[in-house]
Amino acid sequence: MEEDYIKIIFGLKLKQIRTERNLSLFGLSKLSGLSKSYLNEIENGKKYPKPDKIMTLAEKLDVPYDQMVSLKLDKNLAPIGDLLSSKILKEIPLDLFGIKESDLIDIVANAPSKVNAFISTIIKIAQNYNFSRESFFLASVRSFQEANNNYFEDLEQGVLNFAKAYQINLDLPITSRDLGEILVEEFGYTIVDDELNKFQALDNLRSVFVPKTKTLLLANEIDEAQRTFIYAKELAYNFLEIKERLYTFPWIKFKTFDQVLNNFYASYFAGALIIPSAKIKVLLNEIFEKDTLDRDLFLKAIENFNASAESFYQRLTNILPKEFNLQNLFFLRFTHKSGSEKFYLKKELHLSHEHSPHANEAGEHYCRRWVSIKMLKDISRSKKEHEFDFQISNYPEDGMKYLVLSSATKDPFKENHYRSISVGLLINRQLQRKINFLSDPKIITQDVGVTCERCPIKDCEVRQKPAIYLEQAAKNKKVESIVDELNAKFQS
């Protein structure tokens, strides 16, 4: 973008100066002796004039030469300059989203004032919601997942190729021993188990990879499923020949968008290796064919794999859209501390469209009728290893119902902290064709909202706050109605 950036900046400045002088392109052409088509290409960032032509333009427009060639923009165009020169724009592979650099340049060059207003608005919204660079990158990856229905055929095939190359039997549960042996023998890793726990500040880290010596440091608290997932991610980085990567799990910080995207690729590969597509499809078919939702059968399906409940639910978001054509689904992960009334939505994914349960950054209170919240309350009281439940969530306001499956587990790295993971499937004809147990009377239907502050449900016994936004909307509607009546009265 460096050369293009210089061309765009010069073109924007020339166009701004010309319009401030009330000159048309034709008028500037007559004044400068340069052709109208040539000036148009300059203003659109297609060409950069030679010094003698810049001198001519500077003289005719009565602007110092140094000001013309400076890359500094005035405050009206500064946000565009910041965007074009930012690392974010350079790091995000625009072609991932079907955008050509030339298209972006044309948009900016042809409507700078409108683009500037749009960028300024986005920046203000981001600042208001504390939207960081990391959040922007993560949101971009999530959009990429959603655009592809969270299914990536090349990664699925990569897993099959890996299993064949290293003689991994995907019909059997994969263990950390299976994968650790490949890391050590094939890729020269050294695995150290007792180093991270020497540092209290690293109590949230599960692994650190030291690339120079190919040393993988692991926390003592990780269980077999977590160890297997970490090994599978490391194998993904090596087998897929990914160079730009993150070195800690979970991540601390990242420098480029490619690191975030590659972290997603490695995680997807790991999930597909530990929970193979063919095997989970058979298990889901068995569950869906029954006339009742068999709780034990669902839990056994999770236990069929050497994976956490979260990995299993994540894998559902890959398999259900592709193998069962169930593309209207959402995934939620909440965290909660026992004894607190705060619930944090840390991860979400929405396929097809944004469904009713979604993150709210305005400090509002999530609906306590969600099974996701109920599971967190249940496990904090029971102290069990795993709580599971399901419900049909009915949103009266938008007329949609979802079958929601939810599990809650303890956070092994934080005392008295828990997390719930949920998958919601929109109840429509497609879901009714695929799942026989939807009419099971044991499945409770619960009217729900999104947040208490926006919920229309009357006399809710678990409401945390009044529906202030709905009350304000009703008040505004009443005022509007009275004003209309007054207009009608005094017009006659």
Give residue-wise pLDDT tens across range 32-72: 999 999 999 998 888 999 999 999 999 999 888 888 888 77
Nearest Cα residue to 372 out of 316, 419, 302, 312: 419
With 70 as the cut, is the pLDDT of residue 88 above it? no
Cα 97 from Cα 51, distance rounded (Å):
37
- Over the stretch 210-252, which tens digit does the pLDDT of each residue have? 999 999 999 988 899 999 999 999 999 999 999 999 999 888 8
Pairwise CA distance, residues 39 & 8, whole Å: 13
Q: How far apart are CA 170 and CA 191, in angstroms?
A: 24
Query: DSSP state, 39?
Result: H
pLDDT band for position 307 (50/70/90)? Answer: very high
Digit-coded pLDDT (tens) for 284-305: 999 999 999 999 999 999 999 9
* Structural tokens at position 165: 């190359």
Name the pTM for this structure: 0.80
Angle at the Cα of 472 (from 468 to 477), degrees rounded to 5? 150
Cis bond before residue 250 (omega within 30° of 0): yes
* Residue 302 to residue 314: CA distance in whole angstroms: 12
Q: What is the pLDDT of residue 107?
A: 66
Q: What is the reported pLDDT for 277? A: 96
- pLDDT for 328 beyond 70: yes
Find the mean pLDDT for residues 359-377.
87
Q: Measured between alpha carbons, how far is 130 from 344 in angstroms, rounded to an integer?
A: 16
Quick one: tokens of 237?
């980085």
Q: φ, ψ for residue 331 (rounded to 5)?
A: -130, 135
How many whole angstroms from its chain centre is CA 223? 27
Half-sphere exposure of 1 (CA within 13 A, CB side): 23
